[in-house]
A and B are shown apart, each in its own frame.
Chain A
């Protein structure tokens, strides 16, 4: 069976510090991978998605970047965090090559920038 791991669960970082959130998927090959951010009262915003190694689509221009160094690894990064980067970050995967598939989510990372 497939599983998705996302860490850390919580993170408190000062303004201006770097960020690295990691997500890995097990039990499947070439998954579609996603990073979403959930800010208080603002729903689920798609930040990045990837259909393969090195292929990243950015949905919202911002202070963040994503990378996919391996097939089942997806990393969310920032060089300098802003207060507005605080939120709940969710990684997800879906089966490749078809639209009729749901997304499977990790447990999320609560990021607080202070």
Chain B
């Protein structure tokens, strides 16, 4: 069965600093990977997704992520964060053998300090 691990529950950074949110997955078959963002008391919004092709994917709000199959990772990065990026971020995986089941990580709370 697939699983997702987000190693950091909270990440504090200063405004305009770079940030990396880590995500590792486990699956015995090929996977599709996603990052979502959740603002307070709202549903989740898709940031970006990796389906196939280039391992570096770009998403909304200046975020990007790199799929690394050998390390089973899909870390999210942004070169310069803004106060508006304060939110919770979730990594998710779907395995090719279980097309209906979307599994999420435990989330990383990103807090931006001015």
Contacts and interface: CB of A to CB of B under 8 A. Distances in A.
Interface of B is mostly: loop
Q: Give the size range of B's interface with the partner.
A: 20 to 34
9 contacts: A43-B105, A43-B106, A46-B101, A98-B99, A99-B95, A100-B52, A105-B45, A106-B43, A108-B42
Contacts of A106: 43
A49 interface: yes
Interface of B: 6, 9, 32, 34, 36, 41-46, 49, 51-52, 90, 92, 94-96, 98-107
Contact of B43 (A49, A57, A98, A105): A105
Nearest to B32: A100
A90 B94 CA distance: 18
Interface of A: 6, 32, 34, 36, 41-46, 49, 51, 57, 88, 90, 92, 94, 97-108, 110
Contact of B51 (A90, A100, A103, A104): A100
Nearest to A46: B103
A103 B42 contact: no
